[in-house]
């Protein structure tokens, strides 16, 4: 395992370009999305540069589209922004609530932007806070990229995905047997 970066406030906005030659990474507390060049042949990150600095609200999840546009959620900002390949905001989708948490492109043609929001810390008049929104957009998304790691866990440390108890709404984690 290799540490690529230290001193991060909150890791967020992890996304690959469709050609897998650029990796986007955001630090929510710093309100910066960094872009790294990536060499898939060597499996290494190379040049790091600031892709986007946001002056207000907190940067949250982002995802790339096929045209190398990056969608970025603005927690406390009430919007989702689309960022062009040169790091400029070229479109803003205003939302009816302030706390935008994450987004993904889906649907049969990957042109529906699904946006989740949080009800936590929402103003009392925001009755749609905590909702899921579907917005038609012009840019198609890219298919999900996968990640493979050579890090192996011992069989006793494997855990199943968290499950929620309907009565307590607390996560219950169960262990898999060997």
Q: How many domains does the chain have?
A: 1
CB 25 within 8 A of CB 13: yes
**Is 161 a domain residue?**
no
Closest Cα to residue 32, out of 105, 87, 107?
Answer: 87
**Is 63 a domain residue?**
yes
**Is 30 a domain residue?**
yes
Q: Looking at the predicted structure, is the pLDDT value of residue 135 above 80?
A: yes
- Side-chain-side CA neighbours of 157 within 13 Å: the count stands at 4
Q: Looking at the predicted structure, is the pLDDT value of residue 166 above 80?
A: no
**Is 34 a domain residue?**
yes
**Is 17 a domain residue?**
yes
> Residue 64's pLDDT band (boundaries 50, 70, 90)?
low
> Residue 147's pLDDT band (boundaries 50, 70, 90)?
very low
Enumerate the H helices of 35-176 as residue ranges. none
CATH code of the domain covering residue 132? 2.120.10.30
Show the tokens assigned to 130: 């905590």
- Domain range for 69: 11-144
DSSP string, 119-163: -TT--TT-TTTT-EEEEE-SSPBPPPP---------GGG-BPPPE
**Is 60 a domain residue?**
yes
What per-residue confidence (pLDDT) applies to 60? 61
**Is 118 a domain residue?**
yes
Cα 89 from Cα 142, distance rounded (Å) = 19
**Is 80 a domain residue?**
yes
83-97, pLDDT tens digit by residue?
888 889 988 999 999
**Taking the model in full, what pTM does it have?**
0.70
Reduced to 3 states (helix: H, G, I; strand: E, B; else coil), residue 34 is strand
């Amino acid at each position: 395992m290799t540490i690529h970066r230290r001193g991060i406030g909150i890791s967020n906005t992890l996304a690959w370009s469709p050609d897998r030659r650029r990796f986007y990474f955001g630090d929510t507390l710093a309100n910066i999305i960094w872009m790294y060049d990536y060499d898939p042949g060597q499996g290494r990150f190379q040049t790091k540069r600031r892709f986007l600095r946001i002056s207000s609200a907190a940067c949250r999840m982002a995802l790339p589209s096929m045209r190398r546009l990056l969608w970025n959620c603005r927690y406390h900002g009430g919007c989702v922004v689309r960022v062009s390949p040169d790091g400029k905001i070229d479109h803003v989708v205003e939302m009816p609530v302030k706390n935008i948490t994450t987004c993904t492109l889906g649907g049969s043609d990957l042109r529906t932007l699904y946006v989740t929001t949080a009800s936590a810390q929402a103003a009392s008049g925001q009755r749609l806070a905590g909702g899921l929104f579907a917005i038609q957009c012009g840019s198609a998304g890219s298919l999900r990229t996968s990640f493979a790691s050579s890090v192996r866990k011992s069989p006793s440390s494997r855990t199943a995905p968290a499950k929620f108890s309907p009565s307590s709404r607390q996560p219950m984690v169960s262990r898999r047997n060997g």
